[in-house]
Structure 1
Amino acid sequence: MAKFMVSITHAKDNSDKATVGFVVANASAASGVETVVFLTVEGVRLSSKGYTDDIHEEGFAPLKQLMDDFVEAEGKIWVCSPCFKKRGLDGNNLVKGATIVGGAKVVEFLTTGGSCITY
């Protein structure tokens, strides 16, 4: 089975990139590809419940809806542990489908046949 990772490094600092990243992730998951979104740098903020409620880029579905649709399609959201800790975010307030992971998990995914694109 094909494996695809979308790395999202932005949140409200560039909501267009965050939104497009989830649009691509949804297309991948809908195609039956094992798909992971890796939230890193500022992108880890997207993993906090309520954070995306007011993000809606013109021409796209609201980001919260895109994220919910992605998880419903069996997509996985991985959150960079050091980036999350650096920002002092609450690990008990994660959105559905989000898991805090270390870099080794990402390396394993990519070195066993996964490809990656970054937004």
Structure 2
Amino acid sequence: MAGNFVVSLTHAKNDTDKATVAFVIANAAIASEKKVVVFLSIEGTRLSQKGYADDIHEEGFAPLKDLMKSFAEAGGQMFVCSPCFKKRGLDENNLVPGAVIVGGAKLVEFLGDGCPSVSY
């Protein structure tokens, strides 16, 4: 079932349940042979930083750091909203594997025609 799939994530430690479920879905999409991007915006951009997700573990789910690692190792990409990243003063030299800082045009290009997406 080829094709692109986007998970838009605007949360991090401000709603760890949403952050966790977003990566559960992203991993499911990768397992379904989709080309998957997790778009990190607003507070979600904080997840792009090494070590930030280390203490996030929602009951009933794998730790978020493990979900993120599995996602990146499977070829998933994390597009990090550039203005959101800059607003929060985050460190470009501290990005987790699979994360890349992008502008909105890159996301729009990936979405293309009829790309399914979900938001958390």
TM range (shorter): over 0.9
CA deviation after TM superposition for structure 1 residue 59, in Å: 0.3
Name the residue aligned to 2:19: 18
Question: Which structure 2 residues correspond to residues 96-107 of structure 1 after superposition, within 5 A?
Answer: 96-107=97-108
CA deviation after TM superposition for structure 1 residue 115, in Å: 1.6
The number of equivalent residue pairs is: 119
Does the alignment pair 1:116 with 2:117? yes
Whether the 8 Å CA contact 1:10–1:41 is kept in 2: the answer is: yes
Residue type at the aligned position of 1:36 = V
Separation in structure 2 between the aligned mates of residue 98 and residue 38 of structure 1, nearest angstrom:
10
Same amino acid, percent of matched pairs: 66
Name the residue aligned to 1:52: 53
TM-score by length of 1: 0.97
Superposed CA deviations along residues 1-45 of structure 1, whole A, max 9, x for unmatched, are 311000000000000000000000000001111111000000000
Structure 2: 5+ residue runs without aligned partners?
Answer: none
TM-score by length of 2: 0.96
Root-mean-square deviation (Å): 0.8
Structure 1: 5+ residue runs without aligned partners?
Answer: none
